[in-house]
Structure 1
Amino acid sequence: MLFHYHFWTPHVEETERFYVNNGFRVFQRIGKYQGDFQSFDPPLVWDDFREKDILFRIIEARKGSINVTFGYGKKSIFDHIGFLVNEKEQKLICQNAVNMNWNVDRGERRTFITTPYSFRIELQTNKDIVDSMTDNIKIEELKLESKKNGLEDDLSILFGMPVSSIKSVIGETVTIREAVIKDFSSKPLVDPNGVRILN
């Protein structure tokens, strides 16, 4: 199940505000301050730390079965998408990735697969990464812009079946053009990183 996307962005506070204004809750904020990684989690709000020189590594916003993360970058860069899978599925997908000569980086909490399309795919087996598995609020589809053809076919090989939640278009950059999110907003909106969100 597609549940996640991550951006690096110079618009960290604005991105958080956008998602919070659309019903997400901030789960955590981790940033580098005075040389150390520290938590600035809620109930702290931006007025509590805006004047500090914090380099945010990750801010995590959740709603239903959606988890959106972002961290500070000099420009908006799409980094990865994430799928919730069980351990059997994870093993199969990782083997398929190896067969495709795609790099697999297995971690304790999550596994990353590096694609030749200039973004990564996270495989997550821990259901505690989302607020609700039964909620109707979910990412139904992402339209990814990439510089080369073949993404949908490769994802079918990787997952061993068609991945209907990912559509691709060819363009000048690598990013998420559109996200179709169930129960998001009655009108189309664009997040600070250029993701157009449709209900």
Structure 2
Amino acid sequence: MLFHYHYWTPHVEETEKFYRENGFRISQRVGRYQGEFQEFNPPLEWNDFREKNILFRIIEARRGAVNITFGFGKKVMFDHIGYLVTPENHDRICKNARNMGWDVQVSERRTFIATPYSFRIELQTSKDAIDGITEEAELQKLTIVTKRNGLENDLSLLFGQPVSHIVSETGEMVAIKEAFIKGMPDVTDPNGVRIYKR
């Protein structure tokens, strides 16, 4: 199940505000402050730490079966998408990725697969990554801009079945062009992701 995407952005506070205003809750904030990674999780608000010059590594926004994360970057840059999978499917997908020559990094918390399309794929087996599977909020489809053709075919090989929830277009910069999220209005986030309800 597609559930997640991650961006690096100079618009960290604006991105959090955008998703909060569209029904997401902020579940965590982790940032580097005075040389150490620290948590600034809710109930803390931005007014509690805005003057502290924190470099946020990750802010996590959740709504139902959707998990969107972002962290500070000097420019807007799409990093990865994520799938919630069973342990059995996880192992099968990793085997397929290795057979395709794609790098696979497995850890206790999650697995990352490096694609030749300049973004990564996260595999998550823990249902704790989402607030719950609900028909009210789910990530149904993404349009991804890549610099090369073949993404849909490669994803079908990776997952061992046709993939209809990812559509690709070629362009100059790798990015998510459109996200179809059930339960959200038609809006554009501060990083240029156009969000449509389905």
Range of TM-score over shorter length: over 0.9
- Structure 2 Cα separation of the partners of residues 2 and 26 of structure 1: 20
TM-score, length-scaled by structure 2: 0.98
Match of 2:191 in 1: 193
Where does the alignment leave 5 or more consecutive residues of structure 2 unmatched? Answer: none
TM superposition shift of 1:21: 0.3
Number of matched pairs: 197
The letter of the residue matching 1:191 is D
- Structure 1 Cα separation of the partners of residues 152 and 83 of structure 2: 15
The letter of the residue matching 1:175 is A
Match of 2:137 in 1: 137
Q: Secondary structure at the match of 2:178?
A: strand
The letter of the residue matching 2:82 is G
Match of 1:184 in 2: 184
- Structure 2 Cα separation of the partners of residues 136 and 99 of structure 1: 37
Q: Which aligned runs of 4 or more in structure 1 are off by greater than 4 angstroms?
A: none
Matches within 5 A, 1:54-73: 54-73=54-73
Q: Secondary structure at the match of 2:16?
A: helix
TM superposition shift of 1:164: 1.2
- Structure 2 Cα separation of the partners of residues 135 and 6 of structure 1: 22
Match of 2:169 in 1: 169
Q: Secondary structure at the match of 2:152?
A: helix
Q: Cα RMSD over matched residues?
A: 0.6
Matches within 5 A, 1:85-96: 85-96=85-96
Match of 1:29 in 2: 29
In the alignment, structure 1 residue 49 sits paired with structure 2 residue 49 = yes
Once the two structures are superposed, what CA deviation does each residue of 1:178-198 show, in whole Å capped at 9, x if it has no partner? 00000111xx21101000000
TM superposition shift of 1:162: 1.2
Percent identity, please: 63
Match of 2:128 in 1: 128
Where does the alignment leave 5 or more consecutive residues of structure 1 unmatched? Answer: none
TM-score, length-scaled by structure 1: 0.98
